[in-house]
Structure 1
Amino acid sequence: MTLNFPRSLQTLFMIAFAALLAACQSVPPTTGFTPAQIAALKTEGFVETGAGWELTFNERLLFASNDATVDPDLRVRIAGLARNLTSVGITTARVEGHSDSTGASAYNLALSQARAQAVAIPLQAGGMRLSPDQIVGRGEAVPMSSNDSVEGRQDNRRVVVIVTPQ
């Protein structure tokens, strides 16, 4: 048995079916950042990762062993970075300090927190808003390199600034 529907009803059904099918299509995910923000992040040296856009300040720029002091010239550079980001509407970040595995874990955790704070201060001076829970010490828990060599330990004495869309 064949059902015959009027042509107008068939057309209406096809339009409704096409509209429902179009509504089911997935939209590609967006990064949440504007092109100007992405350009600013790239200019400042940030790299897109699964956690957001990350900029790593490691010992070559910042920290000697057992130290959480940021060089005055670098403080100026970090404050400038913050001004550049805030100028495109990126006003907050997460700042994570790290240490190598030399010494006691509790000491390394406190040292990494001090390093994160040392980088957060010029970021805030440059206009970024950081709450205390965004300034975090990770201690030796997330090494970037092996702690079995001088170079590896040097890499692990770092601060990472992570920016995600608000």
Structure 2
Amino acid sequence: MRWKPLLALLLLTVLSACATPPASRDVTITQTARGVEIRSSDIILFDSGKADIKPAGQVFLDRVASILTHRTHQPVSIEGHTDNIGPPDLNRDLSELRALAVMKGLLDRGVPKARMRYVGYGMSRPIADNSTMEGRQLNRRTEIIILNERKENIGSVLDDLAGFFSGVVQFGKNLLN
């Protein structure tokens, strides 16, 4: 059993060279009125109740930083969200710490600080019903919004980002079962 985390990390490294696995709900790319929204579930970025970015999250940040430095120069809003389990103040603090961790990760990868802002909304902006496990999972997310940007200006690299993490997350789920 001790070999499973090492195997998962090895696969993550190997898969980072893959171009376009199938799409997933763990990373979604959406055009909104505000701009291009890159949404990541907490499965990729964080352990439960933590604000330290996991290894898969580091790869995610590598890819997002590449998009932000090479494909667009628009401002970026990083927004953390939680489900409704636990005290509201704790959830708001956790969502803010997670958004800050993502911003620091992007800053470390060359995205200028002047282009980024972060905010933690806690449980105040759910996108799904918090009364179900699936709904709570969808509500635990980090959104990176490239403000005033259009998907078509960035290109297919966005689809590659979502597809890559679909394969990684599914493998991890299978490995741990």
TM over 0.5: yes
User: Quick check: 1:72 aligned with 2:31?
Assistant: no
Contact 2:74 2:146 in 1 (8 A): no
Aligned equivalent of 1:54: 37
Q: Give the Cα separation in 1 of the matches to 2:115 and 2:99.
A: 11
Contact 1:97 1:112 in 2 (8 A): yes
Pick one of 61, 70, 84 that aligns with 1:87. Answer: 70
Aligned CA distance change for structure 1 residues 132 and 163 (closer, same or farther; 3 Å): closer
Equivalent positions of 1:1-166 (< 5 A) are 46-90=29-73, 92-130=75-113, 134-165=117-148
1:47 positional shift: 1.7
1:127 positional shift: 1.7
Q: What code does the residue aligned with 1:147 have?
A: N
Mean alpha-carbon deviation: is it higher for 59-68 or for 90-99?
59-68
In structure 1, the gaps of 5 or more residues are: 1-43
Q: Give the Cα separation in 2 of the matches to 1:105 and 1:129.
A: 31
Contact 2:46 2:57 in 1 (8 A): no
Under a length normalisation based on structure 1, what TM-score does the superposition of the two structures give? Answer: 0.65
Structure 1 stretches of at least 4 aligned residues deviating more than 3 Å after TM superposition = 130-133
1:86 positional shift: 1.0
Greater RCO, 1 or 2 (C-alpha within 8 Å, sep 6+): 2
Q: Secondary structure at the match of 1:141?
A: coil
Q: Give the Cα separation in 2 of the matches to 1:132 and 1:110.
A: 23
Mean alpha-carbon deviation: is it higher for 53-62 or for 100-109?
53-62
1:91 positional shift: 5.5
Q: Give the Cα separation in 1 of the matches to 2:75 and 2:98.
A: 18
Mean alpha-carbon deviation: is it higher for 150-159 or for 61-70?
61-70
Under a length normalisation based on structure 2, what TM-score does the superposition of the two structures give? Answer: 0.61
Compare the two structures and name the one with the higher strand fraction.
2
Q: Secondary structure at the match of 2:93?
A: helix
Among all aligned residue pairs of Structure 1 and Structure 2, give the percentage whose two residues are the same amino acid.
Answer: 32
1:72 positional shift: 2.1
Compare the two structures and name the one with the higher helix fraction.
2
1:104 positional shift: 1.0
Aligned CA distance change for structure 1 residues 124 and 92 (closer, same or farther; 3 Å): farther
Aligned CA distance change for structure 1 residues 101 and 55 (closer, same or farther; 3 Å): same
RMSD (CA atoms): 2.3
Aligned residue pairs total 123
